[in-house]
Structure 1
Amino acid sequence: MTELEFQLVRTNGITLHVVSAGPRDGPLVVLLHGFPEFWYGWRHQIKPLAEAGYRVLVPDQRGFNKSQKPESIDQYTLDVLRDDIVGLIKVYNREKAHVIGHDWGGAVAWHLASTRPEYVKSLIPINIPHPAIMPKAMLTLPLQWLRSSYMAFFQLPEWPEKLLSVDHYDGMARGIKFSASKSEAFKEEDLKKYKEAWAQPGAMTAMLNWYRAIRSGIPEGFASPEKVQVPTQIIWGVDDPFLSKKLAKKSIEHCENGRLTFVGEATHWVNHEQPHIVNQIIAQTLKEEEGIR
């Protein structure tokens, strides 16, 4: 049975709640969740990775669940979020890590690999495009603008928090459950844990501040014509209701050494809906980068 360790770790001026598993001397894998999840969103991936011999770190990213929640919006820019993970890698006395990110966690992973590649052994973004793609897509793909219109609503002060918290977050829970391709992807006991995380003091505003920090623009590093040099494996659920497949195809153009795998019968929540397939892709990618045959 895989034993989970729970720690409070100081990094980049804040304290993150971090779940870890696997042999302490194993190759380091960092799993980064997105909105509106927390470490538990990787529950299907932690055990297989740990049992395969990897040291797995799964932080609640800043603002989420039990991690610290700075009040200022400028504390949630991609540069700051990236530096949280750089600090985490250093705290665990490693030079590099395999970095896997879903949704917003994938945006952080992309930014880390793009601007601090010396810390990344391989990159696996899941249903998240390279951050430089989104501004162009919003202008050139009208359907994508509609799909992403919720992001504009999240810019409003206070109202999103009030709406999302109605009936103890039942609307948010239903939104996740029914946007998934498989009804069993999120069980009631899972959603109960999510609600507990969302109800942490200050959590909802902090989570939304990830979107509000977009106002600061795309970081300078993404304006560079240079491609991501880190070996990259993009995983994409084909029926994502929020993000077009075109974004995945455009993202691979930003990779010097990249692959793109579409997963059928899956949406934005592909790591929940098709965990076996996602875990196989991850395992093969990591084996190749570790030189294991």
Structure 2
Amino acid sequence: MADEKLIDIGGMRIHCVCDGPANGDPVLLLHGFPEFWWGWRKQMAELAGAGFRVVAIDMRGYGESDAPPEVGAYSLDRLVEDVVAVANALNLERFNLVGHDWGGIVAWAVAARHALLVKRLVILNAPHLDVMSPVIFRRPSQLMRSAYVGFFQIPLLPEVALSRRGYRLLCHALTSTSRPGTFTQGELAPYVVQWSRPGRLRAMLNYYRALVRRQRQALGRIVPPTLILWGCKDHALDPELAKASLLQCANGRMSMHRSATHWLHLEEPEWVNGHLLRFLGEDHELDRPDPGQSDETG
């Protein structure tokens, strides 16, 4: 039975939903834009049923977590600190970490800066930030795919545009970039409820604003065993980003789904869950030929 927690980490309250046995191997789930913990609804029961202690986190600014208004509150350093603080509050000495989209960006950074805490890392359609500039240089089309990030830098206008007519544009952003039927009206309704909470939409956009306004330290090599899962039909992220990210892993493998989009965890839950259960359940180190293992499905 899932259990909700509101964890105070130095005056900042982070909401999370926990499932699975209390003594199970812990797995922290980090969602992306513009989801909240519920984005993992097709993974949580499978992981919990397999004996994992699952913790799906509402990242700051999302869902029922606090949403400070300042752009600086959403720096990558702060987002990393949140994950570590939640793990400390739950008395987790080490944990597995799974992230999608922005949750994946944060997961890369947690694994880079706190390698001893992360047992295994799984990334779904999120680039290692160090590879963004080199990939854009080689494939200028990626710059066009990322144009929305520039729009999000404009004060107030994105908030107004995305929230008009019951968040119609934001709903369209989900339905138009996913397979038909992935986000039904019934499934969109809980998202709209969370987006409508005071300060949440601005907080969600502040992730992008903080990323470009503040110089950040390079992440460097990723030491924990890493699995990259990638939907090749992603409208915003070129598969080249996945291949370049794999090269940043000391001990990594990758599996690409040719027909899945950015929302592969919702479109292909059996495929994703199978990879998660096999990878997180391994007790041995990955056999990794240079520069990494890769396969394609679908």
Amino acid of the structure 2 residue aligned with 1:220: Q
Query: Which residue of the partner structure matches residue 191 of structure 1?
Result: 188
Give the match's secondary structure for 1:248. Answer: helix
**Please, which of 186, 189, 197 is the counterpart of residue 200 of structure 1?**
197
**Please, which of 281, 284, 294 is the counterpart of residue 287 of structure 1?**
281
Q: Supply the RMSD in Å over aligned alpha carbons.
A: 1.3
Query: Which residue of the partner structure matches residue 73 of structure 2?
Result: 75
CA distance in 2, matches of 1:290, 1:201: 46
CA distance in 2, matches of 1:111, 1:61: 14
Query: Which residue of the partner structure matches residue 165 of structure 2?
Result: 167
Query: Which residue of the partner structure matches residue 235 of structure 1?
Result: 229
Offset at residue 119 of structure 1 (A): 1.1
Normalized per residue, the structure richer in helix is 1
Amino acid of the structure 2 residue aligned with 1:8: L
CA distance in 2, matches of 1:11, 1:201: 21
- Structure 2 residues without counterparts, runs of 5 or longer: 286-298
Offset at residue 180 of structure 1 (A): 0.7
Offset at residue 136 of structure 1 (A): 2.8
Q: Where in structure 2 are the equivalents of 1:60-209 lying within 5 Å?
A: 60-181=58-179, 183-209=180-206
CA distance in 1, matches of 2:42, 2:284: 22
Give the match's secondary structure for 1:8. Answer: strand
Offset at residue 11 of structure 1 (A): 2.0
- Give a deviation string over 1:24-71, Cα, whole Å, max 9, x none: 010100000010000010000000000000110011100012110111
TM-score (norm 1): 0.94
1:277 and 2:274 are equivalent in the alignment: no
- 8 A contact 1:99–1:122 mirrored in 2: yes
Give the match's secondary structure for 1:165. Answer: helix
Query: Which residue of the partner structure matches residue 252 of structure 2?
Result: 258
Offset at residue 166 of structure 1 (A): 0.8
Identity of aligned residues (%): 38
- 8 A contact 2:130–2:218 mirrored in 1: no
Offset at residue 140 of structure 1 (A): 3.5
Give the match's secondary structure for 2:91. Answer: coil
- 8 A contact 2:222–2:248 mirrored in 1: yes
Give the match's secondary structure for 2:15. Answer: strand
Amino acid of the structure 2 residue aligned with 1:117: A
Count of residues paired in the alignment: 285
Q: Where in structure 2 are the equivalents of 1:37-56 lying within 5 Å?
A: 37-56=35-54
CA distance in 1, matches of 2:225, 2:145: 29
> Structure 1 96/290 Cα, relative in aligned 2: closer, same or farther at 3 Å?
farther
CA distance in 2, matches of 1:110, 1:77: 14
Give the match's secondary structure for 1:123. Answer: strand
CA distance in 2, matches of 1:178, 1:72: 30
Offset at residue 289 of structure 1 (A): 4.0
TM-score (norm 2): 0.93
CA distance in 2, matches of 1:260, 1:124: 10
